[in-house]
């Protein structure tokens, strides 16, 4: 069984509770890093969640199948969950941060209920490239995710394609994720701006 905190790509590692911003320049680079991340989690008997458009779900499935994954069994068991960006972020065409946070916490709780002690989750936020969402609203949401992840047996990776997502949203991402993947390195994010003491406190999954 692989080391449970090995990313799966090169020597990248993470810690449980990390909220990671991954900046990519192409879909090829994104696939090279993120398919092993999910594949390694499945091998380590972890719950794995993928959020993204149909195109990214298709290349993820293709990559996992090539790595030997039994996708029908993995999805039927709930170990692998794929969710569209519409269902996760944009139900009714509107982004409601609180609803998305609630869904995130429900997914983590469902994994524990199925017996998975740890969770790897990855979200492809390329939908932001065609959105008129306010940068402030998105930054506040990402801050909440960082807070909610603290102390949880989970890791959450937000994937930004720099060629699709506006520069101001990428900068907001860099400012709100404590950990960043740049190229083939995962490290403490030098651009991260910790929220003030009056920021909303994380909730507990019951």
> Between the CA atoms of 148, 41, 115 and 98, what dihedral angle is there, to the nearest 10 degrees?
30
- Picking from 90, 8, 13, 11, the residue whose alpha carbon sits closest to that of residue 51 is 90
> Is 150 a domain residue?
yes
pLDDT in tens, 105-141: 999 999 999 999 999 999 999 999 999 999 999 999 9
> Between the CA atoms of 201, 103, 173 and 34, what dihedral angle is there, to the nearest 10 degrees?
130
**pLDDT value, residue 193:** 84
> Is 131 a domain residue?
yes
pTM of the model: 0.89
- Picking from 52, 62, 29, the residue whose alpha carbon sits closest to that of residue 183 is 29
The token duo for 64 is 């996992």
> Is 50 a domain residue?
yes
Q: What's the total number of domains in the chain? A: 1
**pLDDT value, residue 196:** 55
51 touches 85 (CB < 8 A): yes
136-145 burial, b at 16+ Cβ within 10 Å, e below that, comes to eebbbbbbbb
Q: Mean pLDDT, consecutive 10-residue segments, the chain of 206 residues?
A: 80 90 90 94 96 93 90 93 96 93 96 95 94 93 93 95 90 90 78 63 33
**pLDDT value, residue 179:** 87
> Is 178 a domain residue?
yes
> Is 9 a domain residue?
no
**pLDDT value, residue 2:** 59
**pLDDT value, residue 201:** 41
Give the strand pairing for 119-124 and 179-182: unpaired
> Is 193 a domain residue?
no
> Is 199 a domain residue?
no
**pLDDT value, residue 202:** 37
> Is 92 a domain residue?
yes
Look up residue 192 and give its DSSP letter: -
**pLDDT value, residue 203:** 33
- Picking from 20, 46, 47, the residue whose alpha carbon sits closest to that of residue 33 is 20
CATH code at position 69: 3.40.50.300
CA 25 vs. chain centroid, Å, equals: 17
Look up residue 14 and give its DSSP letter: -
Which domain, by its residues, includes 80? 19-188
């Amino acid at each position: 069984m692989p080391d449970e905190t090995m990313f799966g790509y090169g020597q990248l590692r993470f810690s449980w509770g990390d909220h990671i911003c991954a900046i990519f320049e192409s879909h090829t680079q994104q696939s090279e890093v993120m398919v092993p991340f999910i594949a390694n989690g499945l091998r380590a008997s972890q719950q794995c969640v993928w959020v993204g458009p149909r195109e990214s779900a298709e290349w993820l499935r293709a990559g996992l199948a090539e790595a030997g994954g039994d996708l029908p069994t993995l999805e039927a068991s709930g170990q692998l969950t794929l969710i569209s960006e519409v269902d996760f972020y944009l139900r009714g065409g509107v982004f409601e941060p609180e609803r998305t946070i609630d869904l995130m916490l429900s997914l983590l709780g469902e994994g524990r209920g199925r017996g998975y002690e740890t969770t790897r989750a990855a979200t492809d936020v390329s939908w932001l490239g065609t959105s008129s969402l306010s940068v402030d609203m998105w930054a506040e949401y990402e801050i909440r995710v960082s807070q909610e992840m603290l102390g949880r047996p989970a890791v959450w990776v937000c994937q930004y394609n720099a060629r699709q997502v506006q520069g101001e949203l990428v900068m907001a991402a860099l400012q709100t994720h404590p950990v960043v993947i740049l190229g083939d390195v995962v490290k403490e994010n030098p651009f991260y701006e910790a929220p003030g003491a009056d920021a909303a406190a994380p909730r507990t999954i019951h």
